[in-house]
Copies of this chain bind each other. A is one copy, B any other.
Amino acid sequence: MSELLKVGLLGYGTIGSGVIKMLTAPEFGLSGRIKLVKVADTDLVSEREVKVDPALLTDDPDAVVNDPDIDVIVELIGGVGAAKKYVEMALDAGKDVVTANKYMIALHGDALHERATRGDARLLFEASVAGGVPIIQVIREQLACDRVLSINAILNGTCNYILTRMEQVPGMDGEQAVDEARRKGFAEADPTLDVSGMDTAQKLCILVRKAFRTPVLPAQIDLQGITGISNVDVQSALEMGYRIKLVAHSHRVNGKLEIWVGPALIPQSGSLAQVNNEFNAVAINSEAHGEQLFIGKGAGMMPTAGAVVGDLFTLLNHERVPSLLSQPRLDLPVVDRNDVRCRYFARFTVKDQPGVIAAVSSELASRGISIASVVQRENTVDPERGVPLVVITHETTVGALAAAVAAIDHREIMLQPAHTIRIMDSL
């Protein structure tokens, strides 16, 4: 527990610039407590919005990690190549590490923690999940004494922005919304990791590891992105009193863990439905504390930098931080994805001809799937492209629905593959 924490920064990009700003700008008053000693980046040429003393800059990360004057390495390189190598070097050398690297923590969190424990170092990663929301800290500190029952979260600001815009602008399709998000700085040039749900799945793995003490890899998660969502889906959901959000879900059920990432219809009156644009939110239900909801900015320079610097403060103030490994693992088995039960929204783009509803409903009925409501509207503009038939089912299993949809997709009445979305009435 030192009175002045000496920091080496790997990565002088957007988040790195935010960290430099917080550590040096007088309004944060941190200069006497946390000292920036070295900053490494492969690019020392590009102009940055936030300047740093050129004497601190180096293009050699080894020089930062090996500097005996540095207590803590802040890793903002990303990925699991160089980033992981330098984090391992730092932990082996007994240096603490603060990282925003969700991919590395989701894949190698346990191994890195074991390494940290061996090296008598500490590893913190608040910025890896929902930067502006202190959810890792809350699970680590407040909920460590409690029994978590469920997590439902909106963890990707890009997807949430896209879905919000598709709702606000009838007719706007996903690609238009992505273009707009890109122009506004809410989406990467290549948003595949975001819209595929993979970014959300990585973050959910980190939350589940902490909250349910169960290691789960992103590849084990039933994952659906938002690329298949059409404006018809978003507007039909709205008319029925729902909003579509990309939800990260996990909850205990009969001693097992149900876990998935995908778009879901949630009631407009529910609290997660109020989380719009680039905001993130985590709803946690636990035995003692009951329902809690945390909302904040999920990304961006300053919220993420705030999470990184918050972790530095934790290192400054606490000799020991309860780690992933300090409590016994529960290793809850994961519910088979085909056994997960919920109601469904299904859109079938069908030919405008007799017998269509009969065909769809008989395929559903033969798998024991009961229909709660059906809406089919006329397509007066372009009947050749078919009409959307929207069906809401009663509760069924993922497996039964998938079988019914596969059968319906083979029928010649279908003009496009069906698209199904979960309904989460409890959110």
Query: A286 an interface residue at 8 Å Cβ cutoff?
Result: yes
* Contact of A302 with B322 at beta-carbon distance under 8 Å, contacts A134-B142, A271-B274, A313-B144 already known: no
**Could you mark each residue 260-288 of chain A with 1 if its beta carbon is under 8 Å from any beta carbon of chain B, else 0?**
00000000000100100000000000111
Within 8 A of B (CB), among A289-304: 289-297, 300, 302-303
B145-A137 in contact (CB<8A): no
A-B contact pairs, 26 of them (CB 8 A): A27-B147, A28-B146, A28-B287, A28-B288, A133-B292, A134-B138, A141-B310, A141-B314, A142-B307, A146-B310, A288-B303, A288-B305, A289-B296, A289-B297, A289-B302, A289-B303, A289-B307, A291-B295, A292-B296, A292-B297, A293-B294, A293-B296, A317-B320, A317-B322, A317-B326, A319-B320
A289-B306 in contact (CB<8A): yes
B286-A290 in contact (CB<8A): no
Minimum CB–CB distance from A398 to chain B (whole Å) comes to 29
Query: A22 an interface residue at 8 Å Cβ cutoff?
Result: yes
* Contact of A319 with B1 at beta-carbon distance under 8 Å, contacts A141-B310, A295-B293, A303-B290 already known: yes
Residue of B nearest to A300 (CB): B290
State the main secondary structure of chain A at its contact with B: mixed
Within 8 A of B (CB), among A308-338: 309-310, 312-314, 317-322, 326
Query: A61 an interface residue at 8 Å Cβ cutoff?
Result: no
Residue of B nearest to A271 (CB): B274
A292-B132 in contact (CB<8A): yes
Minimum CB–CB distance from A266 to chain B (whole Å) comes to 13
Query: A30 an interface residue at 8 Å Cβ cutoff?
Result: yes
Rounded to whole angstroms, the CA-CA distance of A176 and B326 in the bound complex is 51
Query: A18 an interface residue at 8 Å Cβ cutoff?
Result: yes
- With an 8 Å Cβ cutoff, the count of chain A residues facing the other chain is 52
Within 8 A of B (CB), among A379-421: none
Minimum CB–CB distance from A129 to chain B (whole Å) comes to 13
Contact of A302 among B144, B290, B326 (CB under 8 A): B290
Contacts of A287 in B (CB 8 A): 27-28, 302
Residue of B nearest to A138 (CB): B134
A142-B289 in contact (CB<8A): no
Contacts of A314 in B (CB 8 A): 141
Minimum CB–CB distance from A211 to chain B (whole Å) comes to 14
Contacts of A29 in B (CB 8 A): 147
Minimum CB–CB distance from A328 to chain B (whole Å) comes to 8
Rounded to whole angstroms, the CA-CA distance of A292 and B137 in the bound complex is 15
Contact of A296 among B30, B137, B147, B290 (CB under 8 A): B290
* Contact of A288 with B317 at beta-carbon distance under 8 Å, contacts A145-B22, A295-B271 already known: no
A145-B309 in contact (CB<8A): yes
Contact of A289 among B132, B145, B288, B312 (CB under 8 A): B132
Rounded to whole angstroms, the CA-CA distance of A138 and B309 in the bound complex is 14
B286-A306 in contact (CB<8A): yes
Residue of B nearest to A289 (CB): B306
**Could you mark each residue 133-159 of chain A with 1 if its beta carbon is under 8 Å from any beta carbon of chain B, else 0?**
110011001111111000000000000
Rounded to whole angstroms, the CA-CA distance of A132 and B292 in the bound complex is 7
Rounded to whole angstroms, the CA-CA distance of A143 and B296 in the bound complex is 13
Residue of B nearest to A144 (CB): B313
- 10 smallest A-B Cβ distances: which pairs? A288-B306, A134-B142, A292-B296, A293-B295, A289-B306, A145-B309, A288-B302, A142-B310, A290-B297, A319-B319
Considering residues A27, A142, A292, A309, which has the most beta carbons from chain B within 10 angstroms of its beta carbon?
A142
Contacts of A294 in B (CB 8 A): 292-295
Residue of B nearest to A143 (CB): B310
Contacts of A271 in B (CB 8 A): 274, 295
